[in-house]
A and B are shown apart, each in its own frame.
Chain A
């Protein structure tokens, strides 16, 4: 199953490796990835499409939320204000 997620990341060298490494280590293949800085040059936005079961996706999103450089995570298919902060606390 394909899932899309959007991540706001601090624009630090190493931040991207950390995030992408998390996906690789958790056996979650990335189908597509775009990264660009936002209007605030200290912040980048990543848009990723990944394959996996809903359970795997749910866990990878929760793990992404734990990365220090991650400012916010959202899932475009859910409502726009449904950030992963709420999502990670979802039962």
Chain B
């Protein structure tokens, strides 16, 4: 293989690394780069093809004994590699740093496919190191060989297969760079065992050239709005009567939440966020409209229909937000979009003004320009309209039922946590109830599998988040079916003494699937009904070492149980038997426009509901 890798970029002006010129094994070198890249914890599962790296972790920790008895590089071993992947993802989501997972070849690496794709779809920075069979055995159908660079190349931001020992160091360092720069994402580094065992000379700063990527990135990072751009933006803004910001996960990824808050406050612009953007504004503030989209707040969706100017920040008109792009925000005469990814501009919906660049500095520039040029805040009438929408079409549910309503459980936890807890979820109704009813004061408190919608994400992601924020209150709000997918990780919580709180909203099945079956398949509950399942979640948690466990079935005990649960110092497990017929509303049916939003029985709609839920074409439903 002839490669550009032979050359490493010229960084000779920088001071040499303390270990520059030292001879070490490939595995020790991997460990050193991981340490240099500010990684604080590893998640991974061992195996034959990655054993040299695991041994290097052990040796590193022996050589770097700490006085407090903690390991210099803690390693969290999951029950399944998928768990390690979601832990690294939860760590990255909660901290903003690159999550690192290390697995063996073949099955270890293929178990990592789902978390890698999940991180790609949600733009989460991760580096996944996989062992591989020795280079001499590559392509021979060797024991535990899988074509990981092929498999992962369609799932990850990038994949490296390191066959040339001399570029191992540069490759791994470059993997971290690619993961965290631009639109973040997962990078997989596949490392044959002989490369791990090679004796190498440590450089301390080498990188691969990747000229195309760096050139494009440089251009984006240095793109600045000129005065004409700002003028164009504010001319449209000032002509508008009803401006709205639609903010996505890009705001969180870019660390642009403070800039967004300042911009929104300076010009009194209400903000609605996507599922991934929750926490980019403080959801308790008057201009915050919480989430929009398929299960967004009715008032947020009404504001989208009513706005005449929309600013799109780090969001991409996903089909859960804009199921019919032409009819999305159809009253908006001017749509402006700022994103770091040029491919997201005009991908789904044509915009009138765009900027490809860094969100925080761009918003700061717009704020300064607007203030300097005396741009007036949005009209008082629009602000009053937002307040009215929020009160008239507030979230609500069946408060009088004798059964425990899932929304009441979340409201009760939220009363204690006050928007300060880190919340992870599985996928399904419980995920949507959590998104709708929790408050988030800050970004990086809401960890959910947004784009892939991967069941089983919640528990391992919460473990990773607790590793990132050991002193924070971390709560996994899970579904009975979702938690089952990675239930093995309950023992990981107790093995490492993590003070995690696990809540299972048990509706005896796949509630979200049942909701769709009710609406679109004449209540044929195939594969979604688990009422005959004899599983005892509380005993499961006890068997895995949880000392505080509880099953809550009596509505009268809700408040006291939640108070006791959240006061536990260590890990705690709470199963709540909820009303199995509770549903998620509002709902914009798949493939339908916001005008067809169903608000259910308990949320006030401002229009007569559509005659039936299935006015949409079945083939448009997904």
A65-B342 CB under 8 A given contacts A42-B2, A70-B212: yes
A68-B342 CB under 8 A given contacts A14-B149, A91-B354: no
Closest chain-A Cβ to B330's Cβ sits at a distance in Å of: 20
A68-B178 CB under 8 A given contacts A18-B153, A59-B347, A62-B342: yes
Task: Give which listed residue, B4, B153, B178, B343, contacts A65 with CB less than 8 A.
Answer: B343
Max chain B Cβ within 10 angstroms of own Cβ: one of A12, A62, A66, A68: A68
* B354 contacts across to A, CB distance below 8 A: 91
| Bound CA span A33–B342, Å | 26
Specify the main secondary structure of chain A where it touches its partner: mixed
Interface of chain A residues 61 through 82 with chain B (CB within 8 A): 62-63, 65-66, 68-72
* A63 contacts across to B, CB distance below 8 A: 343
Contact with A along B204-226 (1 / 0, CB 8 A): 00000011110110010000000
Chain B: which residue is nearest A40 at the CB level?
Answer: B4
Is B391 located at the chain interface by the 8 A CB criterion? no
Task: Give which listed residue, B210, B215, B346, contacts A91 with CB less than 8 A.
Answer: B346
A72-B3 CB under 8 A given contacts A62-B342, A66-B343, A91-B354: no
A68-B343 CB under 8 A given contacts A17-B150, A21-B153, A89-B356: no
| Bound CA span A25–B212, Å | 22
Closest chain-A Cβ to B597's Cβ sits at a distance in Å of: 28
Is A50 located at the chain interface by the 8 A CB criterion? no
* B345 contacts across to A, CB distance below 8 A: 89, 91
Is A46 located at the chain interface by the 8 A CB criterion? no
Provide 30 A-B residue pairs closer than 8 Å at the C-beta atoms, listed in order of the A residue.
A8-B212, A10-B4, A10-B210, A10-B212, A11-B3, A12-B4, A13-B149, A13-B163, A14-B149, A14-B153, A14-B159, A18-B159, A21-B150, A21-B153, A21-B154, A25-B154, A37-B2, A41-B2, A42-B2, A42-B6, A62-B343, A65-B216, A68-B178, A69-B212, A70-B212, A71-B212, A85-B219, A88-B343, A89-B345, A91-B346
Closest chain-B Cβ to A4's Cβ sits at a distance in Å of: 20
B341 touches A66 (CB 8 A): yes
A13 touches B212 (CB 8 A): no
Contact with B along A31-61 (1 / 0, CB 8 A): 0000001000111000000000000000100
Is B1 located at the chain interface by the 8 A CB criterion? yes
Q: Looking at chain B, what size class is its interface with the partner chain?
A: 20 to 34
A-B interface contact total, Cβ < 8 Å = 74
Closest chain-A Cβ to B192's Cβ sits at a distance in Å of: 13
Is B161 located at the chain interface by the 8 A CB criterion? yes
B3 touches A12 (CB 8 A): yes
- 8 tightest A-B CB contacts, nearest first: A62-B343, A71-B212, A88-B342, A42-B4, A18-B153, A68-B158, A21-B154, A14-B149
Closest chain-B Cβ to A25's Cβ sits at a distance in Å of: 6
| Bound CA span A59–B348, Å | 10
| Bound CA span A86–B177, Å | 24
* A42 contacts across to B, CB distance below 8 A: 2-4, 6
Closest chain-B Cβ to A82's Cβ sits at a distance in Å of: 15
| Bound CA span A13–B163, Å | 10
Chain B: which residue is nearest A64 at the CB level?
Answer: B343
| Bound CA span A10–B210, Å | 8
Question: Hey, which bits of chain B sit against chain A, CB under 8 A?
Answer: 1-6, 149-150, 153-154, 157-159, 161, 163, 178, 210-213, 215-216, 219, 341-343, 345-347, 354, 356
Closest chain-B Cβ to A34's Cβ sits at a distance in Å of: 19
* A66 contacts across to B, CB distance below 8 A: 341, 343
* B219 contacts across to A, CB distance below 8 A: 85
Chain B: which residue is nearest A58 at the CB level?
Answer: B346
| Bound CA span A79–B154, Å | 31
A68 touches B3 (CB 8 A): no
| Bound CA span A17–B347, Å | 24
* B2 contacts across to A, CB distance below 8 A: 11, 37, 41-42
Task: Give which listed residue, A10, A13, A18, A85, contacts B216 with CB less than 8 A.
Answer: A85
Chain B: which residue is nearest A15 at the CB level?
Answer: B153
Task: Give which listed residue, B3, B150, B161, B342, contacts A10 with CB less than 8 A.
Answer: B3
| Bound CA span A43–B343, Å | 24
| Bound CA span A72–B213, Å | 9
Chain B: which residue is nearest A24 at the CB level?
Answer: B154
* B154 contacts across to A, CB distance below 8 A: 18, 21-22, 25
Closest chain-B Cβ to A6's Cβ sits at a distance in Å of: 14
Task: Give which listed residue, A13, A59, A71, A72, contacts B1 with CB less than 8 A.
Answer: A13
| Bound CA span A41–B213, Å | 19
* B150 contacts across to A, CB distance below 8 A: 14, 17, 21
* B210 contacts across to A, CB distance below 8 A: 10, 68-69
| Bound CA span A21–B154, Å | 6
* A22 contacts across to B, CB distance below 8 A: 154
* B342 contacts across to A, CB distance below 8 A: 62, 65, 88-89
A72 touches B212 (CB 8 A): yes
Chain A: which residue is nearest B350 at the CB level?
Answer: A91
| Bound CA span A10–B2, Å | 10
Max chain B Cβ within 10 angstroms of own Cβ: one of A8, A25, A66, A88: A66
Given A65-B216, A69-B210, A89-B345: 16 more A-B contacts, CB < 8 Å:
A12-B5, A13-B149, A14-B149, A14-B150, A21-B153, A42-B2, A42-B3, A59-B347, A62-B343, A65-B342, A68-B158, A68-B212, A68-B213, A88-B342, A91-B345, A91-B346
| Bound CA span A11–B213, Å | 15
Chain B: which residue is nearest A42 at the CB level?
Answer: B4
* A65 contacts across to B, CB distance below 8 A: 216, 342-343
* B153 contacts across to A, CB distance below 8 A: 14, 17-18, 21
* B158 contacts across to A, CB distance below 8 A: 68
* B163 contacts across to A, CB distance below 8 A: 13
Chain B: which residue is nearest A22 at the CB level?
Answer: B154
B341 touches A11 (CB 8 A): no
| Bound CA span A41–B6, Å | 12
* B212 contacts across to A, CB distance below 8 A: 8, 10, 68-72
Closest chain-B Cβ to A41's Cβ sits at a distance in Å of: 5
Chain A: which residue is nearest B214 at the CB level?
Answer: A68
* A18 contacts across to B, CB distance below 8 A: 153-154, 159
Closest chain-B Cβ to A37's Cβ sits at a distance in Å of: 8
A71 touches B211 (CB 8 A): yes
